[in-house]
Amino acid sequence: MNIAFIGLGNMGGGMAANLVKASHDVRAFDLSEEALSRAESAGCTRAASVAEAVAAADAVVTMLPAGTHVAAVYGNEVFDTAAKNTLLIDCSTIDVATARAVGEDAKSRGFAMVDAPVSGGIAAASAGTLTFMVGGEKEAFDRAEPILSAMGKAVIHAGDIGTGQAAKICNNMLLGATMAATSETLALAEKLGLDPQTFYDIASVSSGQSWSLTSYCPLPGVGPQSPADNDYQGGFAAALMLKDLKLAADAARTANAAVPMGGLAGSLYQMLVSAGEGGRDFSAIIEMLRGKTAAR
């Protein structure tokens, strides 16, 4: 297929390279010259504008920073230049309201569109092992599925347009809250004189078990290899967790839903990011909760 790819940053670069590996003809556009040359080295064809990238495309994939970029790229450029049978796939993590508005706009103009945010970080984007949560009509999902499969290990239809974003922020709110709870618990266990490995062995087969504890343990040297074993480098940046918690808080306000744990997780991640730690993995929250961040 002829696929236009807009936004070839940390995530989009690896994703576009996997589309090339799956024998798609990928026409790439990014505002950054550096991102474009990296995409060219990976086998994409460079486009001079969004319009040039989408002109002959069967599908458009976008991987942009936030809702404002997505609304601008589709509203000001893609809608006016793509052919009506072009499938539109937005993989960015954005607010539910913008995802719905852009999707409805696409529909009113005769385009099929899905929101398809991802779970998994930069390594998963490069390895082609992302999970896609997809919102949109079944017919649009069926068309998007083979394209997304070339970039991921799981592609799940969540429901109507916007539900991909809803699933993504609900999942990440749960993750942020469990990581904060796991971290303060490990800090308390330590202060109560428990050996960290012994407490891990007990909790990992007891009712306190969670993915944050047994797959991504925030304590170095305990559990499987995780960013904690590499001074919290790599993985999922605390700043991106904060972004997702803010999106969850916005969506909760709109839906009139009470999310006190998610709200508290948001405040804790705001403290971590404000302390200059936004570039470190989100599991570094344990250092703040152990009172260690300030001493670094």
Question: Does the annotation count 191 as an active-site position?
Answer: no
Contact 214, 254 (CB under 8 A): no
Query: Shortest distance, CB of residue 172 to ligand NAD, whole angstroms?
Result: 9
Q: How far is the CB of 188 from ligand NAD (least distance, A)?
A: 29
Cβ count within 10 A of residue 55:
16
159 Cβ contact partners less than 8 Å away, ≥ 6 residues apart: 135
Q: Write down the residue that tokens 């499987």 correspond to.
A: 224
What are the residues binding ligand NAD (CB under 6 A)?
6-12, 29-32, 35, 63-65, 69, 73, 92-93, 118, 121-122, 236, 240, 243
**At its nearest, how many Å lie between ligand NAD and the CB of residue 32?**
4
CB nearer to ligand NAD: give 8 or 170. Answer: 8
Rg (CA), the chain: 20
- 262: Cβ contacts below 8 Å, ≥ 6 apart: 173, 176, 177, 245, 248, 249, 252
- Nearest position to ligand NAD, beta carbon: 9
Q: Which is nearer to ligand NAD, 39 or 289 (CB)?
A: 39
Q: Which of 168, 191, 246, 292 is catalytic?
A: 168
Q: How far is the CB of 41 from ligand NAD (least distance, A)?
A: 15
Q: Cβ distance 168 to 174 under 8 Å? A: no
For ligand NAD, which is the closer residue by CB, 161 or 203? 161
For ligand NAD, the closer CB: 6 or 106: 6
Residue 120 near residue 148, CB atoms below 8 Å: no
Q: Longest Cα pair distance anywhere in the chain, in angstroms?
A: 66
Catalytic residues: 168
